[in-house]
Each structure stands twice: as C-alpha cells, then as structure tokens.
Chains A and B, each alone.
Chain A
Amino acid sequence: MSALLIIIPLLAGFLFIPFKEKAKYILPLVVITTLIILLLLSPDQTNAMGGWKAPFGIVLVLDSASYYSLLVVNIVFLLISLMPQIVEKGYSVVLLILLASTNGLVLTGDIFNSFVFLEITAVAAYIIAFSRKNPYGAFKYLILGGISGAFYLLGAIYAYIGTGSLNFADISVNIKEGFLPIVALLIFIGIGVESKIFPLAGWVPDVYDSGSPLTPVILGTGVTFTIMYLFGRIFITVFHGYFLDVVFIFGLLTIVLGELAALRQNKLIKALAFSSIAQAGLVLSTISLGGYEAIKFGYFHLLNDISAKLVLFIIAATIAHNFTENKIAGVSFSIASFSLIGFPLFAGFRSKLLILQLAFSKDNYLLPAVVLFATVIEAAYILKWNIKLWHSTNTGEEKQKISWNVNLILLIVALLIIFIGIFPDLYLKMAQNIADGLTNYRAYVTNVLGGM
C-alpha cells in the first residue's frame, strides 16, 4: 500500500511527458492524492516488494519517523504546487519525479535502493538547478553530486561485504566491527554534498542563484529535509550513533564558515544560500550531540528552518528590490527572517533555546559558543537586508507584483511561524515522533526482519 506513494507520482510524471504544459494542473491533484493515501495509512507497517521477505528483497518501512517525514515533504510539495507561478514551464514533470524519489528515499529500507532514489533525486535536482538558464552552476552540482554518488555506492558495497546483506535492519544487526569506519566514512561523503556539509557545499550558492524561485525553494526545503531524514536513518538507526563525533566537528565548521560567507554577500539570495548551509550545519551538529533529546531538538530546528526558508527564498527570488509596494510579502519576509535569527516570540527562538539548554546540560560549551557567535553574525546581515529592503528608494523599472495565492501562502506560513513561536507543541510533537522512530533500533529491526 505504501508503494502507491512512489508509483502514483512516477506514473503521472511519465504519462504527462507528452503534455508538459498540462502537467501543472495535475501536480496539485497528485500531491493531494499522496497526502490522502498517507493519512489513510497507519504507521508501523513494512511492505515487502514482490513478496520477497526482508533480508532478501526490498522492503518499504513506514514507521513513525518515516511517516512524519513523508507528511512534511508532501506538505512542502503541496504548498509549491499551489503556487504555479514560481514553477517554470514544463518543470512540473520534474517535480513529479522528484516527489516520487523523495518519497522513495524516505520509505526505503534497503541501502542500494536508497542509492538509486538518491541518484534520481540528484538528477531531478540538477534539472531543477538548470531552470532559467544556469548551466554552469548546474554542471558543477552534477560533477560534485556524481562523485558523491559513487562514494555512496562504494559505502553501500562495503556494507554488503561486511554483512552479506543490503537491508538496513540486517546491516545494523550484523555488520562486522572492522567494516564500520569505512562504511560510515564513505556514506558520510556520499550524503555530504546533498546535506550541505562544509567542504562539499560549494555548489549551493551558484545553484540557488539560478534566477528561478523554484530552485532554492524546493532544494532548500523538501530535498534538504529528506536528506536529513536519510542521514538520521543511516547514522542513528543503522550505525547506532557511531561516527557522530566526526560529524559534530564538520557541523561546527559548517556553521562558522557558512555565516561568515553569508555576511560578505551583496546579493540577497546568495546570503540566504550560505545561511541555509549554516543552518544545515547547526542541525547536523545538534543531532550529533547524541541521545534522544538532541535528535528531537535537531529535527525541531530543521522544521523551523525549512518553514522560514520557504518564505525567504520565494521572496528573495521574486522581488529583491523593495517592500513598500508589496507589504504582505515584506511582513512575511521580516517574520521569517527574525525567526531565522531566533528573536523571542518567533519559532527559531524556541529551537535555539532548547538546543542551548541541552548543550549546557551535557557540559558541552563548544556548540553554544558557536551558535551564539553565528547568531550575532546572522542578526547583523539579516537586519541589514531588512533595512535595505524596507527603505530602498530604488523604484526601478522592474515592478514585479506577487499574485494573491503566493501572498496568501507566504502569509499563512509566516503566521504559522509565530504560532509555533508561542505554542511549539505542533512541531515538537512531529520532531518527537521522528526521534522516536529513529532511536528505537530494536523496534525497527523486529518490524523489518520479523521476530528475531
């Protein structure tokens, strides 16, 4: 039954290749269908594809972590499909394929299958990165993504040598001690490009600055969330938190360098792209603190970040001139950017406060120091951009109006950010469910392999 979440968008995508122009009408319908199917399904079930039982065949695992991740990703796709203005002509087909592959990436319980879905996601992302004539950025992304894909495949193969199986649950139980370091390292390099870790994140600003709002919005929210889920699934459920201390260092480096680079940009969308890198580093280093609470707060911060980025990227890519004529968009932008810094009353404040409290309670003073340093820099450039955009006298010839449906969605997401800032229970509950699913190794293994 959960296979329908992959099949329906994939089939719709291939059926509508001859009618690319019409695909933008089918996209919202497909996303709503997948959401309805998802709500009808109950968590805690595994489906063996083709009737091959768990260690031998591919299984799709729907536990509480993948259920809520699917919910988040599909809602992001729904919001984007309701704004057909930001989707370039003919790109709805690519979005359908991307939806199928992200759903598959979240559901799959097989490491080679996850490699295949990762590559489909990456190829769809390269095509989206190309939108509105940005071939050089897209090509750089393709080269980096291609190498990281090869490393991911090598990691998957080493896992196969070490266990004789490609199944996540089987690997987590049976992997030989000696193989763990090399598998973890190779897979970390493999996911590093997509999850925007410091030395591998060089493609991000060039790709996000493609000129089309679709590129940063979908890559910075839906795809980022999926990759972070995959990271948690592999490093927490399969490796039981092994290798996370290395990820912690890389996460801290990513935060500092991302924020410093963002401060120096004189183009809004590039500043936001670097800020997106820094936030990814914060999420990864919080998750790598280890323990249930850290994972919960990491995903809570990720949810806050993608809500803010959804608003920021759309506005930055469509009207980066002046807010006096687009007041609703301006107000949404300010709310989302304040949430990014972590002003009280906004959603980002809640997650940053929880992360700081957790780090202090674990006697870890490095992360709070880095987070506070990053927050100061963030406040500097976010306030600079807010002042610049509200008080710009430059009423140039380009008067881009935002249509009412985009405005409405921006406003709803912005109000949601304030709502989460006051009553954080909604997001916290989602993050808690994701953390539950990821940390409960034993339930995952019995779920997949049957009683053992």
Chain B
Amino acid sequence: MVYYIAFILIGVGIYGFLTQKNLFKHLVSLTIVDTAVNIFIISLGYIEGKEAPIYSKYTPIANFVDPLPQALVLTAIVIGVGTLALGASLLIKVYEKYGTLDVEQIATKEAEE
C-alpha cells in the first residue's frame, strides 16, 4: 500500500516540473520527489509485527525490521537537505538578478540582453 503512495508522490513531483512556471515550485517538486523515494525505501525494509532495530539487553531476541534501508534513507535525507539549501540560495541570486522567479519572464529578460 505504501508503495502506491510513494509512486503517486513521484508522479506529483514530476507533474510539478512540467506544469509550474515558478522556479520555487520546481524546488518544492524536487523535495517531493526526494521524499517519495525516501518513503519507498523505508517501506521496503518494514516487516509486519517486527520492532525497531536497536540491539540492547531489553531485546534479547533480534526480532527486527531490516535496518539497512533506514540507514540509507538517513544519508539520502542529509544529501537532499544540502541540495535544497543550495537550490534556495541560488534562487535568491536568481531573484536578485532578474527581479522575478517566473520562467517566462526570465526568458524574455534573457532575450533582451
């Protein structure tokens, strides 16, 4: 079930790239795609009725879900946040240069130069 949510979200993100004219919404779409991929990875490692993979004296029987996807997602989230921050700072520079974030208006301003 969760798989469907992940793929619907990827579709929403790609729809955003194709239809929106505001550059900030492109950045939001990128975040949606990233999140969808992360949800998909997490859902793979989940096994019904198992516990969080923390090994201690209270969990003598290792009745765990797959811990590897969770570790991967942690890394992927960090990378996604870095890219998001860089993209936002680039958008500030775009706005300083053109005075707008609209794709069509930027294109006309570029053509005038």
Contacts and interface: CB of A to CB of B under 8 A. Distances in A.
Contacts of A147: 13-14, 17, 30, 33
Contacts of B44: 157, 160-161
B56 to A, nearest CB: 22
B33 A150 contact: yes
A139 B72 contact: no
Interface string A297-324: 0000000000000000000000000000
B15 interface: no
Given A116-B75, A136-B98, A147-B17, A154 B87 contact: no
A146 B30 contact: yes
Contact of B34 (A127, A130, A150): A150
A119 interface: yes
Interface in B15-33: 17, 23, 26-27, 30, 33
B91 A139 contact: yes
Contact of B90 (A119, A126, A149, A160): A126
B76 interface: yes
19 contacts: A112-B72, A123-B82, A126-B86, A130-B90, A133-B93, A136-B110, A139-B90, A142-B90, A143-B30, A146-B87, A147-B33, A149-B83, A150-B10, A150-B37, A153-B37, A157-B40, A157-B72, A160-B68, A161-B44
Given A135-B97, A147-B33, 6 more contacts: A112-B72, A135-B93, A136-B94, A146-B33, A154-B37, A157-B40
Contact of A157 (B23, B41, B86, B94): B41
A175 interface: no
Contacts of A123: 82-83, 86
B8 to A, nearest CB: 15
B75 A146 contact: no
A139 B23 contact: yes
A420 B41 CA distance: 48
Contacts of A154: 37, 40
Contact of B87 (A133, A139, A161): A139
Nearest to A147: B33
Nearest to B71: A112
A171 to B, nearest CB: 14
A324 to B, nearest CB: 29
A138 interface: yes
Interface residues of B, number: 32
Closest 5 CB pairs of A and B: A135-B93, A135-B94, A146-B30, A139-B90, A119-B79
A143 B24 CA distance: 11
B37 A138 contact: no
Nearest to A138: B90
B65 interface: no
A308 B76 CA distance: 37
Nearest to B107: A136
Interface string B73-95: 00110010011001100110110
Interface size class, chain A:
20 to 34
A135 B76 contact: no
B80 to A, nearest CB: 8
B87 A143 contact: yes
Contacts of B75: 112, 116
Interface in A123-164: 123, 126-127, 130, 133, 135-136, 138-139, 142-143, 146-147, 149-150, 153-154, 157, 160-161
A303 to B, nearest CB: 31
Contacts of A126: 86, 90
A133 B34 contact: no
Nearest to A161: B44
A142 B33 contact: no
Contacts of A119: 79, 83
A143 B94 contact: no
Among B27, B34, B86, chain A packs the most CB atoms within 10 A around the CB of: B86
Interface in A94-137: 112, 116, 119, 123, 126-127, 130, 133, 135-136
A327 B108 CA distance: 39
Among A136, A138, A143, chain B packs the most CB atoms within 10 A around the CB of: A136
A144 to B, nearest CB: 9
B102 to A, nearest CB: 12
Interface in A153-212: 153-154, 157, 160-161
